[in-house]
Chain A
Amino acid sequence: MNDMRLTERAVETKDIKIAAHDVQVYYGASHAIKDVHIDILDKTVTAFIGPSGCGKSTFLRCLNRMNDTIDICRVEGEILLDGEDIYDKKVDPVQLRARVGMVFQKPNPFPKSIYDNVAYGPKIHGLVKNKAELDAVVESSLRKAALWNEVKDRLDAPGTGLSGGQQQRLCIARAVATSPEVLLMDEPCSALDPIATAQVEELIDELRENFSVVIVTHSMQQAARVSQRTAFFHLGNLVEYGETGQIFTNPKDPRTESYITGRIG
């Protein structure tokens, strides 16, 4: 954990984007997430780390209500996005997900053209009025995902024909095309090789300018490299949450220390 950049990391904002209070998640009878309190800041990369099965992905999926698709999953407590409870009865998850985008573990482009992959979100949300605007959105999204130069000559080619790293960046472009405020990433680099990982990490750092990014990762090095704040989950509890530098160099909880030094997990 002696990454040089750690020391440069400082959280530039104190605006709270997502505030979770007292969140409990149950899968049927099992209690997967217990009493999680966390404030996720705007324009910040927040990393969730922890051993497998600790609930970090589950909690991430609560933030845009992707857990709704699982019948036996039940969420209690409140999660506020800009002060509004996303689990309120009046909230339509569809609208929420346009504001809280998601990138998955395995690259999952639609079996359509690169252009259609990116254009899908803006189209269904009615964000654009005509083809020219759509073209502009597609281009800017692909630029933000650092993919434009590689694919600008073959936007009609199928998205599934790209390499793994390109596919993942395409998924990121697809997620940013709806101009979300928060971008959730569930182990976005676990299916990628080191070079593609480096590209995506660089990209995450750039995305911080516009979005609040929450990333779940198994790689502590990755958390240290890309995030400003880190949350450590263990057995469904949020054990420790703080500035990344502090978590990795001076953890307060003995469990955190054990995990980052490799004794548990």
Chain B
Amino acid sequence: MTAEATNMPAKARPSLYAIDPRTKRRNAAEKRFRLYGVAAVGFGLLALVVLLSSVLGSGLGAFRQSVLTMQVPLDAAVLDKEGTRDPAAIAKVTTIAYGKLLQDALTAELTEKALLPAGMKPKDVGGMISKEAPAQLRNLVLANPDLIGTTVSFDALANGRIDGFFKGRVTMESAKLDSNVSPEQLELAQAMRDAGLLALKFNPGFIFAPDASELRPEAAGLGVAILGSAYMMLIVLVLSLPIGVAASIYLEEFAPKNRFTDLIEVNIANLAAVPSIVFGILGLAAFINFGGLPQSSSVVGGLVLTLMTLPRIIIPARAALKSVPPSIKDAALGVGASKTQTIFHHVLPLAMPGILTGAIIGLAQALGETAPLLLIGMVAFVRDYPAAPPEGFFDPASAIPVQIYSWTQRADPAFTERASGAIIVLLVFLLVMNSLAVVLRRKFERRW
């Protein structure tokens, strides 16, 4: 080659300070790409903020409830006519009598404080008290018959409309059109609040009380649903973790690689993608119709959710087992450990963080699952707490997501607040479970 060919034609070398058009384009492309990323993350965060603020905004009210504080004389002449304090005799007195007591007590209180507007009927005064309050008072007396004859200070739930007035749900205008509440009652409620007779208090009933009927949104709580969800999670954990881990260890470490195991593998992957409602139909057919297990019970719910969770545990567990470096297995086999010893002493401990994370996320998904539970009858209205396990597994129960669903179906706007409150509770549970997954992963994570 000649010298002219090897040397580039004499062209002025550009300065390093001047950025050439190619580099400019590349830099612009990079900048654009970063911008897309920031925009995507920003959009995600915005959606999260909107979701949380909407849920918190409408749901936090459920944790506070309007309560009327009054002195209730528990008249022995009404509650225990014979004066025997015989529980059977006391139990004969119905909530109607207790309602009358509460109404009289409130009227007396208002008269004493000179708050009672002229012309308001005692019935309207009583209407401000929740229909659930007499039952609560009755339960208090039945649990403690010695109270009869004394005067107790009783916190009665206010009617849902009164409660809604203080939470901004009910206005004077809407009250005019509402047969359940009148503007006069609302004015009285405002006066009572100013006088300290009515207050918004923390509402433990929302967490612990059972569901209440359509007409008593103020008394509805998540107690049965939380208990049902807890029972189901227990069943899912106890069944799906050992079965899932055993299956993944077998498939990953022992099973021969042939058509049959390939088929199983494909099936597991497909099962994870099967819509959950299909599992509900399966549960209905297999466990209730064929197996004869009781409807609406947490045992059936737990079994259905177990079936649904299994593939979701097996897939990450297998990935975790696969990610253990083969050199560790070689090392264990090299010193004469058997295959089982190798797996249980070395592989499993190293895969544990991944397995636990997968299991907890699978459980969290099961906790939020609604559709299969609707099919096995857990959407029923359940007011009785299920008994302690194991018998309680067969009692009718509800579940948090199903409770949310059924509350959103109800007409009274007060249930919107309840549903949002229940979503908050569900989110808190999910948050706790996911943080647990992170903590466990950190704790067991080992480097090599």
Which residues of A lie under 8 Å from residue B334 when comparing CB positions?
64, 66, 97, 101-104, 175
**Nearest-Cβ distance from residue A49 to partner chain B, whole angstroms:** 22
Which chain B residue has the least Cβ–Cβ distance from A96?
Answer: B336
Known contacts A94-B336, A94-B337, A124-B336; A110 and B331 CB within 8 A of each other: yes
How many A residues have CB within 8 A of the partner chain?
A: 28
CA distance A1 to B34 in the complex (A): 59
Q: Decide if the interface of chain B is mainly helix, strand, loop or mixed.
A: helix
Which residues of B lie under 8 Å from residue A64 when comparing CB positions?
334
CA distance A111 to B346 in the complex (A): 9
Q: Is the CB of B330 within 8 A of A104?
A: yes
Asked whether B2 is an interface residue with its Cβ less than 8 Å from the other chain, the reply is: no
Which residues of A lie under 8 Å from residue B447 when comparing CB positions?
111, 160
Residues from 334 to 391 in B contacting A, C-beta threshold 8 Å: 334-338, 341, 345-346, 350
Known contacts A111-B350, A111-B448, A160-B447; A125 and B331 CB within 8 A of each other: no
Asked whether B92 is an interface residue with its Cβ less than 8 Å from the other chain, the reply is: no
Q: How large is the interface on B (under 10, 10 to 19, 20 to 34, 35 or more residues)?
A: 20 to 34
Which residues of B lie under 8 Å from residue A121 when comparing CB positions?
335-336
A110: contacting residue among B332, B333, B338, B341, CB under 8 A: B332
Asked whether B328 is an interface residue with its Cβ less than 8 Å from the other chain, the reply is: yes
B 308-334 binary contact with A (CB < 8 Å = 1; else 0): 000000000000000001011111111
Known contacts A71-B256, A98-B336; A108 and B341 CB within 8 A of each other: no
Which residues of A lie under 8 Å from residue B333 when comparing CB positions?
66, 69, 97
Q: Is the CB of B327 within 8 A of A174?
A: no
**Nearest-Cβ distance from residue B331 to partner chain A, whole angstroms:** 4
Which residues of A lie under 8 Å from residue B338 when comparing CB positions?
94
**Nearest-Cβ distance from residue A57 to partner chain B, whole angstroms:** 12
Which chain A residue has the least Cβ–Cβ distance from B349?
Answer: A111
CA distance A121 to B346 in the complex (A): 13
Q: Is the CB of B256 within 8 A of A178?
A: no
**Nearest-Cβ distance from residue B434 to partner chain A, whole angstroms:** 26
A 98-116 binary contact with B (CB < 8 Å = 1; else 0): 1001111010111100000
Q: Is the CB of A108 within 8 A of B335?
A: no
User: What are 14 A-to-B residue pairs whose CB atoms are below 8 Å?
Assistant: A71-B257, A95-B336, A101-B334, A104-B330, A104-B334, A108-B325, A110-B332, A111-B448, A120-B335, A120-B345, A124-B341, A160-B447, A174-B335, A178-B336
